[in-house]
A and B are shown apart, each in its own frame.
Chain A
Amino acid sequence: MMRGLLGGLAKPFTQTAGLARWMLVAGLVLTAAFVVMAVFAPWVAPYGFAQSAADGARFPKAGPPGADHWFGTDRLFFDVLSRTIWGARTALEVVVLSILFCVAIGVPLGLISGYHGGWLDRILVLVMDAVFAFPSFLLAIVFSFLLTNLLGGSVIAVALSLTAIYIPQYFRVVRNTTVSAKEATYVEAARAMGASDGVIMRRYLFGNVVQSVPVLGTLNAADAILTLAGLGFLGLGIQSTDAAEWGHDLNRALADAGSGIWWTGLFPGLAIVLLVTGLTLVGEGLNETLNPTLRRRRLLPVVMPARAETTITGEEQQ
Chain B
Amino acid sequence: MSRAGSGSLPRYILQRAVLVIPMIWVILTLVFVVLRVAPGDPVSAALGGKLDQQALDQRREALGFNRPLIAQYWDYLSSVVRFDFGTTFSDNQPVLHVIRDNGGATLSLTLAAFLIALLVGIPLGLVAGRYRDSAADVVIRLFGILTYAAPIFFVGFLLQVYVAKPLGLPTSGAASPITVFTVKPVTHILLFDVFLSGNGTAIEDVLKHLLLPAVTLGLLICGVFIRLVRVNILQTMQSDYVEAAEARGIDRGKVTWRHAFRNALVPVITVIGLQFALLLGGAVLTESTFNWPGLGQKLVVYINDRDYGAVQGIVTIFAIAVVLISLLVDIVNALVDPRVRY
Contact = CB atoms under 8 A, between A and B. Distances in A.
A258 B34 contact: no
Interface string A141-160: 11101100110000000000
A281 interface: yes
Nearest to A284: B145
B308 to A, nearest CB: 9
A142 B315 contact: yes
A162 interface: no
Interface stretch (A93-101, A127-135, A204-212, A307-315): A127-135
Given A134-B319, A135-B277, A150 B39 contact: yes
Given A258-B165, A277-B145, A146 B34 contact: yes
Given A134-B319, A141-B284, A277 B149 contact: yes
* Main DSSP-derived SS at the B contact region: helix
Contacts of A19: 133, 137-138
B35 interface: yes
Interface in B146-165: 146, 148-154, 156-158, 160-162, 165
Tier of interface size on chain B? 35 or more
Given A136-B277, A260-B161, 15 more contacts: A130-B27, A137-B281, A138-B280, A142-B34, A229-B153, A230-B285, A233-B285, A236-B303, A254-B289, A265-B154, A265-B161, A266-B161, A269-B151, A269-B154, A276-B148
A234 B69 CA distance: 31
Contacts of A229: 151, 153
Contacts of A135: 277-278, 280-281, 318, 322
A126 B20 CA distance: 11
Contact of B31 (A126, A142, A226, A233): A142
Interface string B28-66: 001100110011100001000000000000000000000
Contacts of B124: none
A37 interface: no
A138 B318 contact: yes
A235 interface: yes
Given A146-B35, A262-B161, A133 B151 contact: no
A126 B289 CA distance: 35
A274 to B, nearest CB: 8
A289 B300 CA distance: 41
B288 interface: yes
Interface of B: 22-23, 26-27, 30-31, 34-35, 38-40, 45, 133, 137-138, 145-146, 148-154, 156-158, 160-162, 165, 171, 231, 234-235, 277-278, 280-282, 284-285, 288-289, 299-300, 303-304, 306, 311, 315, 318-319, 322-323, 326
Nearest to A20: B133
Interface residues of A, number: 50
Contact of A257 (B34, B35, B157, B323): B157
A279 to B, nearest CB: 9
B149 A293 contact: no
Contacts of A146: 34-35, 38, 40
Given A233-B151, A273-B149, A150 B281 contact: no
A282 to B, nearest CB: 11
A59 to B, nearest CB: 22
A137 B148 contact: no
Contacts of A73: none
B150 A272 contact: yes
Nearest to A129: B23
Contacts of B148: 276, 280
Contacts of A136: 277, 281
Contacts of A5: none
Interface string A261-302: 010011001001110110011001000000001100000000
B260 to A, nearest CB: 15
A159 B194 CA distance: 44
Contact of B154 (A134, A142, A273, A277): A273
B323 A133 contact: yes
15 contacts: A126-B26, A130-B27, A131-B27, A134-B27, A135-B280, A137-B282, A146-B35, A150-B38, A230-B153, A235-B300, A257-B165, A260-B161, A265-B161, A276-B148, A276-B149
A104 B26 CA distance: 24
Contacts of A226: 149, 151
B220 to A, nearest CB: 10
Nearest to B22: A126
A234 B149 contact: no
A280 B148 CA distance: 9
A137 B284 contact: yes
Q: Sort A-B residue pairs by CB-CB distance and give the 5 closest, nearest first.
A: A137-B281, A269-B154, A276-B149, A130-B26, A135-B277
B304 A235 contact: yes
